[in-house]
Chains A and B, each alone.
Chain A
């Protein structure tokens, strides 16, 4: 399968300003150089905790936030091009579904007007044709067509999320960024929306970038998964590989922290100490090293920013202590290393898989 979307060294720094005329005094390094591909027809899961930059990454790819630097190519077209007509054409093919089903729908527009907006902007249909198309879209997302005349506040969270999906589908995109589409919903409704997204993917051949903090949901929907921490992708692998044998100590801790709804499977857990550092003042070297429990952690981890490199077939991770690594032992020694790189799978996870 070919890549539909390719992201290279994407960076987004938000300036921290002070004073009446906004003098920059620093930057929040929300996304700090990430690279990945999304293949045609797959779902790439993007997971991480709040503040890791996953939402910023999703929006920078769609240029809803102007990236600081980097390259984004969609189906051979440069997304960061300066040509507004080209960007508008791309908007038809790349869409987004939001987390908050309340603030993402204009309360002063009817459901029909919300879904119709894309049709009108791109001149895809007018008048009766647009009307018919809206009804068809509403049915496709599991809503009654007569809902078109109602207002968003008359609907439950799950129904509103369906309206948001219909709005995105109206322009017939091939790629959708799903930004935490189910995290505001109750469990039973969450399942409905996940199934809907999967059905649509199958029927329309959609490609998803699925952003979420819930690792169970991502395991369920994703073909491949990228794990973000403090603006970096620290691990990227096929979903099965990643969940079966995560290489990064951070991913290991993240997975072991998820509560399992099965009292028989009480597992040992890696409990991380401390909080995620501020992205305005990230630690030097490996962003995770202050909280890392890898037995080979040493001074080199605080000096060398680990590259995201292939550790096994199709399994990338950013850790100089998890071999193989292209940061040689000599380079690590020069940076103050005392421990040789060694493979490490903690007991908690070894027992689970």
Chain B
């Protein structure tokens, strides 16, 4: 496995992360050998479809995996020079919500319905900073103001159900940023929101990133959100990173057939109306990843080699890695395209 070289000052280093779930149906290798770095102040996007392992990756970094899931031995997660997987649980609790914070897709289920939002934000400050009740409350109101909630002192006294979806996500962000974390993990933060509200939240995240000088891991299935937010992108498929590049490089020159397929399958605003390209088939269940290249049975270029061998990550451009043998046999791409053009022409 040729993991990308880590440039020295990485904030978070993930190496060969494996998270398996041992279920009745077999061992689900949800995350299977994932390595990447997050630089200070960087936004890194993790994109992939449901079941690709992107959320399990983030939960593993936070060590929030519950049985039957386990993080396998040999996995390494280093954050600010500390090995998170080796920390005792009380130490880890001091990092969660403090140095690394997390926001989720559905804020309603992460907020406690019986406390006011102000109390819940203040609670974080009281737990992690031993702040007095008064200071913590002031901090909560200040955070609500920072997240652009009008009349924050008033809103702090309200309960989650009194707020709209967009407001609740702002509350979640306020709660996540109380302790000025170095890393924010945002797991599908705008998926449940309408597009105009999504625009508000994305803009807010960008502003707050500047202000708090934090790194963001943005997990999403929406390539549009990735293009607007991230500097670097990891594309995940079947528990693995299949492509990694800067955002400009990835969208301009996608290398992996899966990335290529995703981009072609998406209807894009303002583009010519043509038939959408499809990726045939569906994501296989995590207990039965195909042998060889895990994408080969859905790939338009597949030949014998990926059916047999599991491809490593190849460097295909500056800071651009792809888990595909096309890196070594690029002529197959053009051949396949010519062939399909001929087939299309004769049909």
Q: Which residues of A contact B (CB under 8 A)?
A: 49-50, 156, 158-159, 186-192, 194-195, 198, 213, 215-217, 219-220, 243, 253-264, 266, 269, 271-273, 275-276, 352-353
A–B complex contacts, Cβ < 8 Å, 26 sampled? A49-B195, A186-B49, A188-B279, A189-B282, A192-B280, A213-B195, A215-B269, A216-B266, A216-B269, A217-B267, A219-B269, A219-B270, A220-B267, A243-B270, A253-B196, A254-B195, A258-B195, A259-B198, A259-B199, A259-B228, A261-B224, A261-B226, A263-B248, A271-B203, A275-B164, A276-B194
In Å, the complex CA distance between A163 and B49 comes to 22
In contact, B224 and A260 (Cβ under 8 angstroms): yes
Q: Given that A219-B269, A264-B248 are known contacts, is A191 also in contact with B276, CB under 8 Å in the complex? A: yes
In contact, B265 and A260 (Cβ under 8 angstroms): no
In contact, B227 and A262 (Cβ under 8 angstroms): yes
Residues of the A chain whose Cβ atoms lie less than 8 Å from the Cβ of B261? 188
Residues of the B chain whose Cβ atoms lie less than 8 Å from the Cβ of A258? 195, 224, 269
In Å, the complex CA distance between A186 and B267 comes to 13
CB distance from A180 to the nearest CB of B (A): 13
Residues of the B chain whose Cβ atoms lie less than 8 Å from the Cβ of A220? 267, 273, 276
Among B222, B247, B278, contact of A259 (Cβ-Cβ < 8 Å): B222
Among A186, A263, A273, the one with the most B-chain Cβ atoms within 10 Å of its Cβ is A263
In contact, A275 and B228 (Cβ under 8 angstroms): no
In contact, A213 and B224 (Cβ under 8 angstroms): no
The 9 closest A-B pairs by CB, nearest first: A259-B224, A220-B267, A191-B265, A49-B194, A188-B279, A257-B199, A186-B49, A261-B223, A191-B276
Residues of the A chain whose Cβ atoms lie less than 8 Å from the Cβ of B225? 259
In Å, the complex CA distance between A195 and B266 comes to 12
Q: Which residues of B contact A (CB under 8 A)?
A: 49-50, 164, 166-167, 194-200, 202-203, 221-228, 247-248, 251-252, 261-263, 265-270, 273, 275-280, 282-283
Residues of the A chain whose Cβ atoms lie less than 8 Å from the Cβ of B166? 275
Residues of the B chain whose Cβ atoms lie less than 8 Å from the Cβ of A243? 269-270
Closest to A219 in B: B269
Q: Given that A257-B195, A261-B263 are known contacts, is A191 also in contact with B278, CB under 8 Å in the complex? A: yes
Q: How many A-B residue pairs have CB under 8 A?
A: 124
- List 20 extra interface pairs beyond A254-B196, A261-B266, A269-B203, CB under 8 A: A49-B195, A186-B49, A186-B221, A187-B223, A187-B262, A187-B265, A188-B262, A189-B282, A194-B276, A217-B267, A255-B269, A258-B195, A258-B269, A259-B225, A260-B224, A261-B263, A271-B196, A271-B199, A271-B200, A276-B194
Residues of the B chain whose Cβ atoms lie less than 8 Å from the Cβ of A188? 49, 261-262, 265, 278-279
In contact, A272 and B196 (Cβ under 8 angstroms): yes
In contact, A269 and B221 (Cβ under 8 angstroms): no
Residues of the A chain whose Cβ atoms lie less than 8 Å from the Cβ of B265? 187-188, 190-191
In Å, the complex CA distance between A191 and B167 comes to 32
CB distance from A272 to the nearest CB of B (A): 5
Residues of the A chain whose Cβ atoms lie less than 8 Å from the Cβ of B167? 275
In Å, the complex CA distance between A255 and B199 comes to 11
In contact, B278 and A272 (Cβ under 8 angstroms): no
In contact, B251 and A187 (Cβ under 8 angstroms): no
Among B223, B227, B273, B279, contact of A191 (Cβ-Cβ < 8 Å): B279
In Å, the complex CA distance between A256 and B224 comes to 12
Q: Given that A220-B267, A259-B222 are known contacts, is A191 also in contact with B196, CB under 8 Å in the complex? A: no
In contact, A219 and B227 (Cβ under 8 angstroms): no
Residues of the B chain whose Cβ atoms lie less than 8 Å from the Cβ of A269? 199, 203
CB distance from B296 to the nearest CB of A (A): 15
In Å, the complex CA distance between A263 and B227 comes to 5
In contact, B266 and A187 (Cβ under 8 angstroms): yes
In contact, B262 and A275 (Cβ under 8 angstroms): no
In contact, B267 and A216 (Cβ under 8 angstroms): yes
In contact, A213 and B266 (Cβ under 8 angstroms): no
Closest to A278 in B: B164
Among A156, A195, A271, contact of B278 (Cβ-Cβ < 8 Å): A195
Residues of the B chain whose Cβ atoms lie less than 8 Å from the Cβ of A216? 224, 266-269
Closest to A266 in B: B228
In Å, the complex CA distance between A263 and B224 comes to 9
In Å, the complex CA distance between A14 and B254 comes to 49
Residues of the A chain whose Cβ atoms lie less than 8 Å from the Cβ of B276? 191, 194-195, 220
Residues of the A chain whose Cβ atoms lie less than 8 Å from the Cβ of B203? 269, 271
Closest to B246 in A: A263
Among A191, A192, A195, A271, the one with the most B-chain Cβ atoms within 10 Å of its Cβ is A191
Q: Given that A191-B277, A258-B195, A262-B251 are known contacts, is A158 also in contact with B282, CB under 8 Å in the complex? A: yes
Residues of the A chain whose Cβ atoms lie less than 8 Å from the Cβ of B228? 259-260, 263, 266
Closest to A194 in B: B276
Residues of the A chain whose Cβ atoms lie less than 8 Å from the Cβ of B194? 49-50, 213, 276
In Å, the complex CA distance between A143 and B293 comes to 26
Among A192, A257, A261, the one with the most B-chain Cβ atoms within 10 Å of its Cβ is A261
Residues of the B chain whose Cβ atoms lie less than 8 Å from the Cβ of A159? 282
Q: Given that A156-B282, A275-B167 are known contacts, is A263 also in contact with B247, CB under 8 Å in the complex? A: yes
CB distance from A258 to the nearest CB of B (A): 5
Residues of the B chain whose Cβ atoms lie less than 8 Å from the Cβ of A189? 49, 282
Closest to B263 in A: A261
In contact, A215 and B195 (Cβ under 8 angstroms): yes
In contact, A259 and B262 (Cβ under 8 angstroms): no
In contact, B227 and A260 (Cβ under 8 angstroms): yes
In contact, B273 and A259 (Cβ under 8 angstroms): no
In Å, the complex CA distance between A195 and B267 comes to 11
Residues of the B chain whose Cβ atoms lie less than 8 Å from the Cβ of A276? 194
Residues of the B chain whose Cβ atoms lie less than 8 Å from the Cβ of A253? 196
In Å, the complex CA distance between A186 and B283 comes to 10
In contact, A257 and B196 (Cβ under 8 angstroms): yes
In Å, the complex CA distance between A191 and B283 comes to 14
In contact, B221 and A263 (Cβ under 8 angstroms): no
In Å, the complex CA distance between A136 and B203 comes to 50
CB distance from A120 to the nearest CB of B (A): 30
Closest to B48 in A: A186
CB distance from B317 to the nearest CB of A (A): 15
CB distance from A221 to the nearest CB of B (A): 8
In contact, B221 and A275 (Cβ under 8 angstroms): no
CB distance from B284 to the nearest CB of A (A): 10
In contact, A187 and B273 (Cβ under 8 angstroms): no
In Å, the complex CA distance between A126 and B228 comes to 55
In contact, A192 and B278 (Cβ under 8 angstroms): yes
